[in-house]
Amino acid sequence: MAHVSDTFLASQRRSDEIRADLAVHPEKYIMLTGDRPTGRLHLGHYFGTIAQRVALQNAGITTRIVIADYQVITDRDTTEHIADNVYSMVLDYLACGIDPERTIIFTHSAVPALNQLMLPFLSLVSESELHRNPTVKSEQEASGHTLTGLLLTYPVHQACDILFCKGNIVPVGKDQLPHIEQTRQIARRFNDRYAPVFPEPAGLLTDAVEIPGLDGRKMSKSYGNAIALSATEEETAKLIKKSRTDSERKITFDPDNRPGVSALLTTAALCTGRTEEDIAEEIGESGSGALKAYVTESVNAYLAPIREKRAQLEANAGYILEVLHEGNRRANEIAEVTLQEVREAMGMVY
């Protein structure tokens, strides 16, 4: 256990140092981040990671975003709707302010040279290391699916995603640190065994608040408690209206005892920049109906410019595909160069 917490403290320290250095030397950093295209992006994604990505991109950090389509089949048997989900993910990114001129957006499956890193990388990890990863275990349990070879080896293909473009920072929550540790280990082992090709990437620990879903649980499409960025104002109002609160009239912020009311307060707080307590006090004895009306108004006002931009982009379907094709082209270029370096390091150039 001492080992685990030492690793955590070291990660925390690295993350703090990098955060301080980002503003001074943005040119030193390549950020790789990504999402599985399993559905529409929602407010939880937005406040949890997307807003931060946009800020880092705008601060001049080189940014690459993988739409991890192969990861969808780590724990499910179908790719139904995947193309739609990929397409709407690109739309959501652009609507939120990801700039395709600066940021490469690509799909995992479209970059063969990235995937080919998997074979040498697999030789650098042991079976017991794979089985020890706590996230793999919990994801498998949550999905109720059998542990596929793809899920078991998923930290290794995330290492490929990060290292193909020499990514040196990856924004992560604490629970994702074991993946970063695995990536660092793969990079170190490759460099030691063959030649120094890869950086050892650091996790950039997010300081973002986790936005709860409308019922106080984690916001997730599968819980039906998520407000999609692409939802209409009416859909948003309906979802908030049917969220579960309690019968106490006086509104107070108390996440442990009043998860529904408190989740609504946090949602409004994030969208308005006010504090939960301040909003609770203002609503006072007016009850959850008034609270819901306020939350609906704040969310819709906050999302209005994003939704407007999304609608404009959606009217131009060809453009979204162009962005993706160009992203895939650029990612392939980078991956080919890296794979060539790997071949040279391994003495496999014929």
CB 267 within 8 A of CB 299: yes
Sign of dihedral through CA atoms 336, 34, 159, 15?
Answer: positive
Sheet containing strand 202-205, strands side by side:
104-107, 62-67, 30-35, 169-172, 202-205
Residue 293 has a CB neighbour count (10 Å cut-off) of 15
> Which residue stretch of 155-163, 192-200, 293-301, 319-327 sits at the interface with ligand TRP (rule: CB under 6 A)?
155-163
Which stretch in 22-30, 32-40, 255-263, 313-321 sits in contact with ligand TRP by CB under 6 A? 32-40
Q: Does 62 bind ligand TRP (CB under 6 A)?
A: no
**Least distance from ligand TRP to the Cβ atom of residue 139, Å:** 9
Q: Binding ligand TRP by CB under 6 A: which of 52, 88, 133, 158?
A: 158
In the chain, what is the greatest distance between 2 CA atoms, to the nearest angstrom?
Answer: 77
Residues in the chain: 350
Residue type, 64: R
Helix (H, G, I), strand (E, B) or coil at 93: helix
Among 56, 61, 96, 162, binds ligand TRP (CB under 6 A): 162
Q: CB count, 10 Å around CB of 338?
A: 20
Q: Which stretch binds ligand TRP (CB under 6 A): 30-38, 92-100, 124-132, 308-316?
A: 30-38
- Check residue 82 for interaction with ligand TRP (CB under 6 A): no
Does 300 help bind ligand TRP (rule: CB under 6 A)?
no
Q: How many residues bind ligand TRP (CB under 6 A)?
A: 12
Pick between residue 33 and residue 243 the one whose CB is nearest to ligand TRP: 33
Q: Does 110 bind ligand TRP (CB under 6 A)?
A: no
Contact between 34 and ligand TRP (CB under 6 A)? yes
Which member of 18, 22, 30, 32 binds ligand TRP (CB under 6 A)? 32
Which residue in 104, 170, 320, 324 binds ligand TRP (CB under 6 A)?
Answer: 170
The CB-of-6 to ligand TRP minimum distance in angstroms stands at 23
**Binding window for ligand TRP (CB under 6 A); candidates: 3-11, 27-35, 123-131, 279-287:** 27-35
Nearer to ligand TRP, 89 or 283 (CB): 89
When asked if residue 56 is in the footprint of ligand TRP (CB under 6 A), the reply is no
Q: Residue 308: which residues within 8 A CB-CB, separation 6 or more?
A: none
Closest CA to 32 of 122, 166, 185, 186: 166
Q: Using CB under 6 A, which of the segments 125-133, 158-166, 286-294, 341-349 binds ligand TRP?
A: 158-166
Q: Which two tokens stand for residue 87?
A: 């397409």
Q: Which residues contact 31 (CB under 8 A, 6 or more apart)?
A: 53, 56, 61, 62, 63, 64, 167, 169, 170, 171, 204
Three-state DSSP at 281 gives: helix
Residue 37 near ligand TRP by CB under 6 A: no
Please report whether residue 181 would count as binding ligand TRP according to CB under 6 A.
Answer: no
> Binding ligand TRP by CB under 6 A: which of 161, 163, 205, 342?
161
CA dist 80 → 213, 314, 317, 324 (Å): 25, 21, 20, 20
Q: Is 226 in the site for ligand TRP (CB under 6 A)?
A: no
Binding site for ligand TRP (CB under 6 A): 32-36, 66, 68, 71, 158, 161-162, 170
